[in-house]
């Protein structure tokens, strides 16, 4: 919901990854954002404005001296109404211009005039990314408050394997949402969320578990992040990707989850226990795979620790966290 009604200026620069910007644009619009797209001349070699105009139902800006509503200069008008300026992909050329304050096209002029947060998603070949000049530019932009997302590692358009890929749309969306939520109702709060179903091993290949997907815990972690909190997600094994901007602490058993939770109590303001923690575990874990025998198999179980009861016992002395 944090994106609903927000004015997002999306800058698209001239790299092969710019086709992925269409997916980002679409997801932003689906989330309720008002998206204005600026394309550089180099981006026009890869895509046409029609794609983004169709997705946003709004005109796409390209011309440095384009007039909006007959009176406003495009770079000033767009900069003033932006809640966040996102450039994806951000080429090495554009990063260099931003780092040195150049304003020779509509996008860089808008960036220079914009006081809203800046989110950059670099995409380029590995050698360009690793070049000391590019790294110095990235460092300068980061020190001035820009949020740098990626790049990812994998196969590039050149056929090489390395750093330089535009990160997944979901990761960029996560960065945008976190940036917009910096001053939210939970700003400054330190929050711990537990998620997933713990696994209690029977032997090296089998375990007792439950059907928890972890989705609720991960959704709570994302919502807290969007509200400005500093979030730690203590998670049992799941098939879910870690949310952007959230510290992920992987655990497996109830004992490991207990240790992770209790070890962070002193620095936690709010604790959300969404994990499905096992109530019992095998009293003895076999060192080798349990082989099939002639008769039945009897397992002796013992109770696991009650994490919430331990938290409640420690709260009076610490005065935190809220649970």
Instruction: Phi first, then psi: give them for residue 154, nearest 5 degrees.
Output: 160, -160
* 210 catalytic per annotation: yes
H or E element: which one contains 302? Answer: strand 301-303
User: For the CA atoms of 40, 41, 43, 48, what is the dihedral angle to 10 degrees?
Assistant: 110
Of 7, 93, 131, 210, the catalytic one is 210
| Whole-Å CA distances, 184 to 2, 141, 180, 277 | 10, 24, 8, 31
Residue 132 to residue 43: CA distance in whole angstroms: 25
Q: Decide: residue 287, CB within 10 A, 0-12 exposed, 13-18 middle, 19+ buried.
A: exposed
| Cα 296 from Cα 6, distance rounded (Å) | 62
Q: Which of 265, 262, 260, 255 is nearest to 198 (CA)?
A: 255
CB burial string 121-144: b at 16+ within 10 A, e below = bbbbbbebbeeeebeebbeebeee
Please confirm whether the linkage preceding 217 is cis (ω < 30° from 0): no
Q: Phi first, then psi: what are they for 49, rounded to 5°? A: -60, -25
64-71: list long-range contacts, CB under 8 Å, 24+ apart: 64/105, 64/106, 64/109, 66/106
Contact 41, 11 (CB under 8 A): no
Catalytic residue annotation? 210
């Amino acid at each position: 919901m944090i994106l609903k009604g927000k004015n997002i200026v999306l800058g698209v620069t001239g790299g092969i990854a710019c086709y992925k910007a269409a997916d980002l644009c679409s997801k932003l619009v689906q989330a309720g954002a008002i998206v204005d797209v600026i394309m550089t001349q180099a981006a026009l070699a890869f895509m046409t404005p029609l794609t983004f105009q169709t997705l946003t139902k709004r005109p796409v800006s390209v011309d440095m001296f384009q007039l909006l509503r007959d009176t406003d200069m495009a770079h000033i008008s767009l900069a003033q109404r932006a809640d966040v300026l996102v450039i994806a992909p951000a080429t090495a050329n554009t990063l260099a211009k931003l780092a040195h304050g150049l304003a020779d096209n509509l996008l860089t002029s808008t960036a220079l005039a914009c006081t809203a947060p800046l989110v950059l998603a670099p995409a380029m070949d590995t050698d360009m990314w690793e070049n000391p000049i590019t790294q110095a530019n990235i460092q300068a932009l980061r020190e001035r408050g820009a949020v740098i997302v990626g790049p990812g590692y994998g196969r590039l358009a050149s056929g090489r394997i390395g750093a330089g890929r535009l990160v997944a749309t979901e990761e960029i969306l996560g960065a945008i949402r976190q940036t917009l939520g910096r001053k939210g109702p939970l700003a400054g709060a330190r929050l711990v969320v537990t998620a997933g179903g713990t696994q209690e091993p029977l032997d090296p290949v089998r375990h007792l578990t439950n059907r928890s997907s972890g989705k609720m815990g991960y959704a709570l972690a994302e919502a807290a992040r969007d509200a400005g909190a500093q979030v730690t997600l203590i998670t049992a094994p799941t098939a879910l990707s870690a949310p952007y901007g959230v510290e992920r602490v992987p655990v497996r058993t109830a004992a490991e989850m207990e240790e992770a939770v209790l070890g962070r109590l002193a620095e936690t303001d709010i604790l959300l226990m969404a994990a499905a923690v096992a109530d019992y575990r095998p009293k003895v874990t076999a060192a080798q795979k349990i082989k099939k025998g002639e008769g039945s198999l009897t397992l002796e179980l013992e109770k696991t620790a009650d994490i919430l009861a331990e938290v409640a016992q420690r709260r009076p002395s610490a005065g935190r966290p809220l649970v």
